Amino acid sequence: MDAARVTVTAPQQSQAVARRLDVLEARLDFVMKKLSINENNGLSAVQAKLMTSLAEWKSTNQLAGALGYRQEYVSRQVAQLKHAGYLEERKTGKTIFYKVVQRV
C-alpha cells in the first residue's frame, strides 16, 4: 500500500522555513546569552565552568568528557584562559595538562 502524497505549495514551504528560522534564532539568542561575558570577571559561562573544573591538573580531553563539550571547543577556551594568565600548563608525554594559576 502506497503512502498518500502530500502536496506542499511554495508559500507553505516558505512559512515552514520562516518558522524554523524563528526557532533557530530563539535558540541562538538563548545560547548567546548563556555565553555572554560576565561583568565581574570577564569570563564567559563556559570559561567559568572550566575554571572551576581546573582546581587539579586536567587535559582538554578530560575536561571535554567531564563537561560534555567537544574537545576542539574546550581547547579554544583553555587557550584563551591561558593567554589571559588564568592557567598554567604541564606537559607529560604528548598530553598537556592545565590547572588554575595559584595567585598570592
**Domains of the chain, residue spans:** 8-37, 40-104
pLDDT digits (tens, 9 = 90+) for 8-31: 677 788 888 888 888 777 776 665
Q: Which residue has the higher pLDDT, 46 or 1?
A: 46
pTM of the predicted protein model: 0.58
Cell of 26: 530563539
**pLDDT class of 39 with cuts at 50, 70, 90:** very low
CATH architecture entry for 40-104:
Orthogonal Bundle (1.10)
Strand boundaries in the chain, DSSP class E: 58-59, 87-92, 95-100
pLDDT digits (tens, 9 = 90+) for 46-83: 888 898 889 899 999 999 999 999 999 999 999 999 99
